[in-house]
């Protein structure tokens, strides 16, 4: 294939993805649905022509990781901190944590019923990727909702990604769950938060002091480098990314007192605005190619295999049951207005690909993941398209921390 054909293909994919994004804003069907389906169609056409994309298994994991980093960073750059946000953050964390635990327990119990000889740890590790809500889909999927609802989902889905990776590392790295394992888990969380704050200050200083015309690429490269090193040391590097995004968008709240002698806050705000624009553009391109290639990597025959549906349909029910139970306890009938926002996506694929070979459960069809990603994305689209109900009208009170009935 000539270089001209490759350039035409790449440019066409980006332009078509832009049209999908525009169409998504009108129909509220997530862009990833169109991209995955396009990838599946391309796979069918290329198979008939005898062509194939090489090294797909090598390309997808790093591309997905890069996409996840950018999406969480973009989310942090869109959030403002303040005393009035404490309840929203607390409620988002509460919902993410208990929804993750409930869904994980339900799916793991289902796997245990399907495969009685499988150990509990094996069932938990394989169930975890499907128990995590994907911020990569949830955040753009609720872009048309009112600001307060969107803000809650951004916090909740970002926390879900981070907690999912923490629990995944805990399950994979520990064969037994004694006191030492839990102590190490707690230390990891505290150390990651402290290191994230120090690292954010260092990156802010780097952005302010670089006078070269190329400054954002080196900064982002440092962020990727630290992310990879933190992951190798079994910390949760997504915490670092989210904290840096929050730091960058709320620089005036972090740089206070004597720190103002070392930082020019007004200049940093301008620099961070430009950095945020570059992050958004790059995120769009990475997501486009990841989900298109994900669709291409799906075998259509496997997608419609009875075994895939036999696993996917019960798991789909457990996903919404596990999400609804914590919301129901906290918000009563208003849980219905949040329960449909439970997409699976980028984080699901990345965690599944990160499962060590010795812990893979062979009886689960690979197409199950794609089926669940498409199903949860379409349910999200249906949820944001339907008109407001009395329960949805109560959502603003819920995310502000008022769970009481109003007359």
Q: Are 132 and 209 in contact (CB under 8 A)?
A: no
Q: Is residue 139 part of a domain?
A: yes
Count of beta carbons in the 10 Å neighbourhood of residue 120: 12
Q: Is residue 261 part of a domain?
A: yes
Count of beta carbons in the 10 Å neighbourhood of residue 402: 13
Count of beta carbons in the 10 Å neighbourhood of residue 256: 10
Overall average pLDDT of the 168-176 stretch: 79
Interatomic CA distance for residues 82 and 228, integer angstroms: 31
Residue 403's pLDDT band (cuts 50, 70, 90): very low
Where are the extended beta strands (E) located within 165-256?
none
Q: Is residue 74 part of a domain?
A: yes
pLDDT, position 333: 56
The answer on pLDDT for 321 being more than 60 is yes
Please indicate whether residue 387 or residue 204 has the higher confidence score (pLDDT).
204
The answer on pLDDT for 200 being more than 50 is yes
Q: Is residue 12 part of a domain?
A: no
Cα angle at 137 between 133 and 140, to 5 degrees? 130
Q: Are 54 and 362 in contact (CB under 8 A)?
A: no
Interatomic CA distance for residues 130 and 3, integer angstroms: 39
Tell me: the pLDDT tens digits for 282-320?
888 988 998 898 888 887 788 888 888 999 999 999 998
Burial class (CB within 10 angstroms; exposed 0-12, middle 13-18, buried 19+) of 257: exposed
Tell me: the pLDDT tens digits for 111-167?
999 988 888 889 999 999 999 998 878 877 777 777 777 778 888 888 888 888 888
The answer on pLDDT for 405 being more than 50 is no
pLDDT, position 1: 60
| Secondary structure class of 236 (helix, strand, coil) | coil
Q: Is residue 128 part of a domain?
A: yes
**Full-model pTM:** 0.80
Q: Is residue 27 part of a domain?
A: no
pLDDT, position 319: 92
Please indicate whether residue 59 or residue 141 has the higher confidence score (pLDDT).
59
pLDDT, position 391: 53
Q: Which domain holds residue 187?
A: 39-399
| Secondary structure class of 361 (helix, strand, coil) | coil
* Phi, psi (deg, nearest 5) at residue 68: -65, -45
264-273 long-range contacts (CB < 8 A, ≥24 apart) are 264/208, 267/208, 268/204, 268/207, 268/208, 271/207, 271/208, 271/215, 272/77, 272/207, 272/248
Compute the chain's Rg from CA coordinates.
21
Please indicate whether residue 196 or residue 385 has the higher confidence score (pLDDT).
196
Count of beta carbons in the 10 Å neighbourhood of residue 10: 13
DSSP state letter for 357? G
CATH of the domain at 184: 1.20.1530.20
The answer on pLDDT for 9 being more than 80 is yes
Where are the extended beta strands (E) located within 58-113?
none
Please indicate whether residue 64 or residue 402 has the higher confidence score (pLDDT).
64
Interatomic CA distance for residues 21 and 28, integer angstroms: 9
Q: Is residue 282 part of a domain?
A: yes
Count of beta carbons in the 10 Å neighbourhood of residue 176: 7
Tokens for 154?
Answer: 């951004």
Kindly tell me the sign of the dihedral angle through the C-alpha atoms of 380, 382, 388, 392: negative
The answer on pLDDT for 406 being more than 70 is no
Q: Is residue 96 part of a domain?
A: yes
User: Which residues fall within 8 angstroms of residue 31, CB to CB, at 6 or more apart?
Assistant: 17, 20, 21, 24, 140, 287, 291
Overall average pLDDT of the 179-187 stretch: 76
- If one counts the domains in the chain, the total is 1
The answer on pLDDT for 253 being more than 50 is yes
Residue 190's pLDDT band (cuts 50, 70, 90): confident
User: Which residues fall within 8 angstroms of residue 41, CB to CB, at 6 or more apart?
Assistant: 295
Mean of all residue pLDDT scores within the chain:
81
* Phi, psi (deg, nearest 5) at residue 300: -60, -35
- Kindly state the percentage of the chain with pLDDT values over 70: 91
């Amino acid at each position: 294939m000539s270089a001209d054909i490759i350039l035409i293909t790449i440019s066409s994919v980006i332009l078509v993805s832009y049209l999908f994004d525009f169409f998504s804003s009108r129909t509220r069907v997530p862009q990833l649905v169109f991209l995955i389906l396009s990838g599946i169609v391309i796979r069918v056409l290329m198979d008939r022509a005898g062509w194939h994309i090489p090294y797909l298994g090598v390309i997808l994991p790093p591309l997905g990781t890069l996409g996840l980093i950018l999406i969480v960073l973009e989310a942090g750059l869109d959030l403002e901190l303040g005393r009035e946000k404490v309840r929203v953050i607390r409620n988002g964390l509460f919902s993410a944590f208990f929804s993750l635990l409930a869904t994980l327990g339900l799916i793991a119990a289902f796997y245990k019923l399907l495969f009685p000889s499988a150990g509990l740890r094996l069932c938990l590790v394989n169930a975890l990727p499907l128990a995590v809500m994907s911020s990569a889909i949830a955040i753009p999927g609720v872009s048309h909702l009112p600001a307060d609802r969107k803000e809650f989902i951004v916090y909740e889905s970002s926390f879900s990604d981070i907690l999912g990776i923490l629990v995944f590392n805990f399950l994979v790295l520990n064969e037994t769950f004694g006191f030492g394992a839990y102590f190490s888990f707690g230390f990891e969380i505290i150390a990651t938060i402290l290191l994230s704050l120090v690292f954010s200050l260092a990156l802010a200083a780097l952005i302010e002091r670089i006078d070269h015309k190329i400054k954002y690429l080196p900064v982002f490269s440092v962020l990727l480098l630290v992310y990879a090193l933190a992951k190798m040391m079994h910390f949760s590097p997504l915490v670092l990314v989210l904290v840096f995004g929050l730091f960058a968008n709320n620089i005036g709240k972090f740089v206070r007192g004597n720190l103002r002698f070392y930082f020019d806050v007004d200049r940093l705000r301008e620099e961070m605005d430009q950095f945020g624009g570059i992050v958004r553009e790059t995120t769009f391109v990475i997501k486009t190619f990841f989900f298109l290639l994900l669709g291409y990597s799906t075998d259509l025959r496997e997608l419609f295999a009875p075994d895939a549906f036999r696993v996917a349909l019960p798991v789909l029910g457990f996903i919404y049951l596990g999400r609804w139970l914590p919301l129901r306890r906290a918000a009563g009938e208003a849980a219905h207005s949040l329960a449909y926002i439970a997409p699976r996506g980028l984080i699901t694929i990345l965690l599944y690909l990160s499962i060590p070979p010795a812990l893979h459960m062979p009886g689960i069809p690979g197409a199950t993941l794609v089926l669940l990603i498409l199903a949860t994305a379409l349910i999200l689209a249906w949820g944001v398209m339907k008109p407001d109900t009395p329960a949805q009208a109560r959502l603003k009170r819920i995310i502000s921390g008022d769970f009481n009935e109003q007359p």
